[in-house]
Amino acid sequence: MNDFPSPKPQASSPLDAFLDGLRRVKRAPWLVIGLWLSTLLLALPLSLALHSLLGEHLGDSMAAQSAAEGVNFDWWNEFLAQSSGVGKTFVPAILGFAAIVQNLSGVADASGPPSPVGWVVAAQWIVATFLIGGVLDRLARDRAIGPGAFFAACGVYCLRFLRLSVVSVAVYAFLFVTVHGWLFGNLYSRLLEDLTVERTAFVYRVGLYVVFGALVLFANLVFDYAKVRAVVEDRRSMLGALSAGVRFVRRNLGATVGLYALNSLAFLGVLSLYYVAAPGATANTLAFAIGQLFIVLRVIVRLQFAASQTALFQRRLAHAGYVARPLAKWPESPSAEAIGPA
């Protein structure tokens, strides 16, 4: 499918697309609720398993009372020393904003999640792959489509995006294993030879993070717009969608990067709010509410990324609300013909 011009010239700056994306997310509250619930349900089994381990270890001991009132690091270290599996994930870094820092550090240093939660990450990826087609279809049409049409779109694009994920996994594996290892292993070691100033070593490492981040950003942009083009243009070939995504990013590099920057600033704003309000070790209703509010805001930001990128593509190569695939409509039951005046 060739690129096609918009039938009606529209403002297509990154800011216009960003604001359009916000309006689309605002008009899709059930997407926010549904994604929040899916996130909560996926995390529930792990939480229940950890709750059971903590309950068994504490029992009716004196440590139970002190743990309920605050942090008891002596008991915590004892629990970690005796635990295995899911229990090993109960570390101080899970408290408040430290969990965000740990996740960001893991991405920058190409370290995967702990093995006990690997299946949770895999389940989240499977669910996201299934839902993304319906989410993009709903955001591209910018109107309510009903649960039947939404899940029909999920089913249609799920297998296509699974094929696309084979390529994306290979690309990200190459970046996080081969390229990351070369940058922070071979190249960084050579830069540190005969170096005596620690500040210079820090500058080198930050520079390598910037280079690595730019490569990951470009790959992320390409795959994002490949999915957008696959849904908006109803592409069946994922290699064709990927090629189209590369063309769109290359021809609109300033706009796509600028929009990504605006969305990233929104994400940083959410992180800043959570940094200020993040609960500590105290377990109470307010702490739970703050945590869930952060998850909801994170879901909104994820939808904002998808909605604004879809809006930018439609503004530049299609028109608002354009989706090539017809909206799925379920046929009425044959018994409906028998209902009516005799």
d(C-alpha 285, C-alpha 291), whole Å: 10
Give pLDDT tens digits for 149-169: 999 999 999 999 999 999 999
Residue 30, SS3 per DSSP: helix
Q: Check whether residue 110 and residue 163 sit in a common domain.
A: yes
Check whether residue 272 and residue 146 sit in a common domain. yes
What is the model's pLDDT at position 4?
47
- How many domains does one find in the chain? 2
Give 45-67 pLDDT, tens digit per residue. 776 666 666 666 565 555 555 55
Is pTM beyond 0.85 here? no
Both 211 and 81 in one domain: the answer is no
Range of the domain at 42: 35-90
Output the six-digit token pair for 238.
Answer: 């994922």
The span from the CA of 210 to the CA of 267, in Å, is 18
* Same domain, yes or no: 209 and 85: no
Q: What is the mean pLDDT of the chain?
A: 80
Q: Of 72, 90, 108, which closes a domain?
A: 90
pLDDT for 311:
95
Task: Give yes or no: residues 107 and 78 share one domain.
Answer: no
**Residue 147 and residue 121 in one domain:** yes
**Locus of tokens 């999915």:** 227
Q: Based on the domain organization, do 272 and 289 belong to the same domain?
A: yes
Query: Does 51 lie in the same domain as 163?
Result: no
Looking at the fold, whether 116 and 188 belong to one and the same domain comes out as yes
What's the rounded Cα separation, in Å, for the pair 127 and 35? 10
Residue 255, in any domain of the structure: yes
Which range of 176-180, 196-200, 260-264, 293-297 scores highest in mean pLDDT? It is 260-264
Angle at 298 between CA 300 and CA 108, to 5 degrees: 135
**Please, which contacts does 40-49 make with residues 24 or more away whose CB atoms are closer than 8 Å?**
40/292, 40/295, 42/120, 42/123, 42/124, 42/127, 43/120, 45/120, 46/86, 46/117, 46/120, 49/86
In a domain, 158, yes or no: yes
Asked whether residue 11 is domain-assigned, the answer is no
> End of a domain among 48, 75, 90?
90
- Asked if residue 138 belongs to a domain, the reply is yes
- Helices 198-232 and 146-173 pack at an angle, to 10 degrees, of 140
* Most distant CA pair in the chain, distance: 97
Q: Kindly state whether residues 79 and 127 are assigned to the same domain.
A: no
pLDDT in tens, 187-238: 888 888 877 777 888 888 889 989 999 999 999 999 999 999 999 999 999 9
Same domain for 66 and 198, yes or no, is no
Same domain for 45 and 167, yes or no, is no
